[in-house]
């Protein structure tokens, strides 16, 4: 059996056209973008063209787009800047955030730089918006609200327009981790009431180690990394030119083909869901799979048994790649903080299957046939 890759929320395969766009910068176009002669001007131009393209696709201004090493760096930069530079001494977040956010806000709490509140989470994995408003209303300090757009483990989508409007009402700063949605949903940053968003190219068939931080033009922060004057003095260090070019190309392709790819991926995911219900007794789904949910992710809860406890391992030895929780903790299987927060007493074995434009219904059928023998 060929390898089946159903872990696209962890990372996606690099698109060959994206790779082609990056190649010249590994070879003949090697100049340092800070150099003033032709080699440097060539790579500088590639960076600024990429920035303009990304800004246009997100309906932002080029000066609002900063290239980074990915989602983790972008979120850390935004959250720390809100506390250090924008006067936010109270952070409101949720226990369902990615560790890139959770470990950062917990660090700021532990150092005493900010207090931390978690918004209540409903059993279907959505945040309680009334509780968010209550926390904002009762806060004695200026707040930073950091809530992700879509959850990487269960796929739930947060209404970030609603959150942003609440933040406006209570004069709070709003950062959203949009790593799972940029490239999969259209975001209009001229209209969306948000101060910071983050993205990572490897979630939409771009290269790893390349991301962006959007900083709204009305916000002024200090650099997170000090050194040279790259990224308009905001992020020192010689630029990851191949990554930047690859990020822009991957986003261009994702936005251009979004409707078609969404329809395809949705069909594959719906087929997986229907086939699981038909073939595996007692199976159910975490989150809100028929409501506000990513079309790329299906978080499946298998009834616990001696066999299902070995499921991830057995899928792996059968060449099926799926994940038990967030990619960052797989290999160190300590259980998912997301599943623990929404169903603390549950007796289930969760496997996250996540799909891309390369996934097929035939692959789903092969996985289902295997699951029937493994459960």
Catalytic residue list contains 328? yes
Gap between the Cα atoms of 128 and 22, Å rounded: 43
Q: Mask 79-118, x = binds ligand PLP (CB under 6 A)?
A: -------------------x-x------------------
* Residue placing its CB nearer to ligand PLP in the complex, 200 or 349: 200
Please, what is the minimum distance in Å from the beta carbon of residue 211 to ligand PLP? 5
Please, what is the minimum distance in Å from the beta carbon of residue 347 to ligand PLP? 27
- What tokens were used for 153? 């483990």
Please, what is the minimum distance in Å from the beta carbon of residue 67 to ligand PLP? 12
Per DSSP, the residues of 148-177 read -SB-TTT-BB--HHHHHHHHHHTT-EEEEE
- Strand-pair category, 211-215 with 65-68: antiparallel
**Residue 46, C-beta contacts closer than 8 angstroms, at least 6 positions apart:** 25, 29, 33, 241, 244, 245
Specify the length of the chain in residues.
Answer: 375
According to the binding rule CB under 6 A, does residue 211 interact with ligand PLP? yes
CB atoms within 10 A of CB 190: 9
Please, what is the minimum distance in Å from the beta carbon of residue 180 to ligand PLP? 5
Where are the extended beta strands (E) located within 49-95? 65-68, 90-93
**Residue 243, C-beta contacts closer than 8 angstroms, at least 6 positions apart:** 22, 67, 69, 201, 207, 209, 210
Cα–Cα distance list, 302 to 35, 157, 264, 348 (Å): 57, 23, 25, 6
Among 8, 12, 72, 240, binds ligand PLP (CB under 6 A): 72
According to the binding rule CB under 6 A, does residue 148 interact with ligand PLP? yes
* Residue placing its CB nearer to ligand PLP in the complex, 42 or 177: 177
Q: Mask 318-347, x = binds ligand PLP (CB under 6 A)?
A: ---------xx-------------------
According to the binding rule CB under 6 A, does residue 77 interact with ligand PLP? no
In this structure, are residues 147 and 193 in contact, taking their beta carbons and an 8 Å threshold?
Answer: no
* Residue placing its CB nearer to ligand PLP in the complex, 314 or 329: 329
* Residue placing its CB nearer to ligand PLP in the complex, 328 or 341: 328
Residues 32-71 that bind ligand PLP (CB under 6 A): 70-71
Gap between the Cα atoms of 125 and 156, Å rounded: 7
Catalytic one among 88, 167, 321, 328?
A: 328
Residues 161-180 that bind ligand PLP (CB under 6 A): 177, 179-180
In this structure, are residues 66 and 225 in contact, taking their beta carbons and an 8 Å threshold?
Answer: no
* Residue placing its CB nearer to ligand PLP in the complex, 53 or 180: 180
- Residue with token string 């092969």: 366
According to the binding rule CB under 6 A, does residue 7 interact with ligand PLP? no
Gap between the Cα atoms of 301 and 285, Å rounded: 5
* Residue placing its CB nearer to ligand PLP in the complex, 31 or 70: 70
Gap between the Cα atoms of 238 and 322, Å rounded: 35
Residues 226-245 that bind ligand PLP (CB under 6 A): none
Please, what is the minimum distance in Å from the beta carbon of residue 164 to ligand PLP? 18
Q: Applying CB under 6 A, which residues contact ligand PLP?
A: 70-72, 98, 100, 148, 152, 177, 179-180, 200, 211, 327-328
Catalytic residue IDs: 328
């Amino acid at each position: 059996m060929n390898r089946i890759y159903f872990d696209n929320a962890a990372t996606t395969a690099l698109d060959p056209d994206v790779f082609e766009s990056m190649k010249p910068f590994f070879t003949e176009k090697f100049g340092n973008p800070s150099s003033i002669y032709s080699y440097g001007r060539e790579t500088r131009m590639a960076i600024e063209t990429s920035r303009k393209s990304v800004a246009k696709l997100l309906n932002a201004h080029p000066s609002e787009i900063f290239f980074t090493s990915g989602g983790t760096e972008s979120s850390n930069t935004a959250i720390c800047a809100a506390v250090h530079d924008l006067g936010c001494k109270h952070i409101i977040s949720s226990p369902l955030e990615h560790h890139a956010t959770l470990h950062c806000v917990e660090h700021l709490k532990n150092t005493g730089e900010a207090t931390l509140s978690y918004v209540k989470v409903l059993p279907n994995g959505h945040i309680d918006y009334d509780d968010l408003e209550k926390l904002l209303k009762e806060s004695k300090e200026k707040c930073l609200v950091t809530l992700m757009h879509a959850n990487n483990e269960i796929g739930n989508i947060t209404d970030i327009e609603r959150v942003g409007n609440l933040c406006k009402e209570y004069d709070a700063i709003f950062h959203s981790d949009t790593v799972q949605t940029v490239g999969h949903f259209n975001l209009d940053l001229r209209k969306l009431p948000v101060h910071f968003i983050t993205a990572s190219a490897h979630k939409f068939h771009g290269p790893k180690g390349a991301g962006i931080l959007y900083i709204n033009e009305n916000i002024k922060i200090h650099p997170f990394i000090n050194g040279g004057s790259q990224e308009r003095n905001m992020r020192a260090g010689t630029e990851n030119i191949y990554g930047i070019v690859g990020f822009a190309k991957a986003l261009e392709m994702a936005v251009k083909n979004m409707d078609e790819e969404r329809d395809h991926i949705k069909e594959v995911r719906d087929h997986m869901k229907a086939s699981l219900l038909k073939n595996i007794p007692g199976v159910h789904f975490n989150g809100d799979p028929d409501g506000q949910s990513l079309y790329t992710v299906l978080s499946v809860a298998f009834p616990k048994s001696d066999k299902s406890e070995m499921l991830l391992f057995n899928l792996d030895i059968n060449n099926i790649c799926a994940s038990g929780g967030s990619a960052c903790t797989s290999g160190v299987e300590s259980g998912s903080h997301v599943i623990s927060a929404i169903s603390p007493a549950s007796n289930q074995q969760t496997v996250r299957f996540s799909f891309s434009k390369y996934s097929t219904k035939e692959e789903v059928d092969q996985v289902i046939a295997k699951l029937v023998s493994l459960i």
